[in-house]
């Protein structure tokens, strides 16, 4: 049974997380300056979440029509584990749990920007009744 029971639930939880992340002025500015857009191509449940600093919405759940700088392909469960810091990016990439497409230097540049999301996710997950331990 996947952590996220449906695509809608996943969009609600992760969409909220990413909206919080992109509302962080420092993160938004860095992402914008670096010209980094990200597509999370998720399976189980299937969905797409985009972070696009050039789009007024910043976070788009579902279809979008840009070419992302970085594409991360992963399952909903891996997403959940990653944001809980139970899955480190290099190990997830090395073991194939996350497949990444896009310049590795930009992927590495992205990591420090994600800190607020890692810090905020346990509370968000808990508030949606998802397991965090």
Partner 1 sequence: MSYIDLCTELTPAQESIKKETNKFARDVLRPAAIELDSMDPLSVIQSGLYRDTLRKGYELGYHTIFIPDTWGGLGLDPLEIHIVLEELAWGSVDFAVSLGVTCFPAFFATMVPNDKLIDEIIVPFCENKDATIIGCWGITEPDHGSDQLSVGAPWFHDAKITGQCHARLEGDAYVITGQKSAWVSNGSVASHCMAYINIDPSMGLAGGGIGIIPLHLPGVRRGAPLNKMGQRALNQGEIYFDNVRVPREYMIVEPDSYEPMLDLTLATANAGMGAMFTGVARAAYELALEYAKQRVQGGKVLFEHQLIRHKLFQMFTKVEAARALSRAAFIYNLNNTPPLSRYSIAAKTYCTQVAFEVANDAMQIFGGNGLSKEYPIEKIFRDARAGLVEDGANDTLMIIAAQEL
Q: Interior CA angle at 129 toward 100 and 123, to 5°?
A: 65
Whichever of 30 and 32 has its CB closer to partner 1, that residue is: 30
Q: Binding to partner 1 by residue 35, rule CB under 8 A? A: no
103 binds partner 1, rule: CB under 8 A = yes
Using the rule CB under 8 A, is 91 a contact of partner 1?
yes
Interface stretch with partner 1, choices 6-14, 47-55, 102-110, 125-133 (CB under 8 A) = 102-110
Distances (CA, A) of 56 to 24, 40, 47, 51, 52: 15, 18, 21, 11, 8
| Number of H-type helices and E-type strands within the chain | 6, 5
Contact of 58 with 28, CB cutoff 8 Å: yes
Query: What is the three-class DSSP state of 132?
Result: coil
HSE (side-chain half, CA atoms, 13 Å) at 9: 15
Among 7, 41, 48, 100, binds partner 1 (CB under 8 A): 100
Of 12-20, 57-65, 108-116, 122-130, which segment contacts partner 1 by CB under 8 A? 108-116
Min. distance of Cβ 64 from partner 1 in angstroms? 21
Contact residues for partner 1 (CB under 8 A)?
30, 88-91, 93-96, 99-109, 111-112
């Amino acid at each position: 049974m996947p952590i996220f029971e449906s695509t809608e639930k996943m969009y609600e939880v992760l969409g909220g997380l990413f909206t919080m992340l992109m509302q962080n002025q420092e993160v938004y500015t860095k992402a914008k300056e670096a010209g980094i857009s990200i597509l999370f191509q998720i399976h189980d449940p299937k969905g797409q979440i985009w972070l696009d600093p050039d789009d007024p919405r910043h976070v788009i759940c579902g279809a979008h029509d840009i070419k992302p700088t970085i594409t991360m392909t992963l399952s909903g469960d891996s997403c959940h584990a990653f944001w809980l810091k139970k899955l480190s990016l290099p190990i997830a990439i090395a073991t194939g749990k996350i497949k990444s497409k896009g310049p590795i230097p930009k992927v590495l540049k992205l990591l420090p920007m994600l800190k607020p999301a890692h810090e905020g996710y346990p509370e968000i997950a808990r508030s949606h009744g998802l397991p965090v331990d």
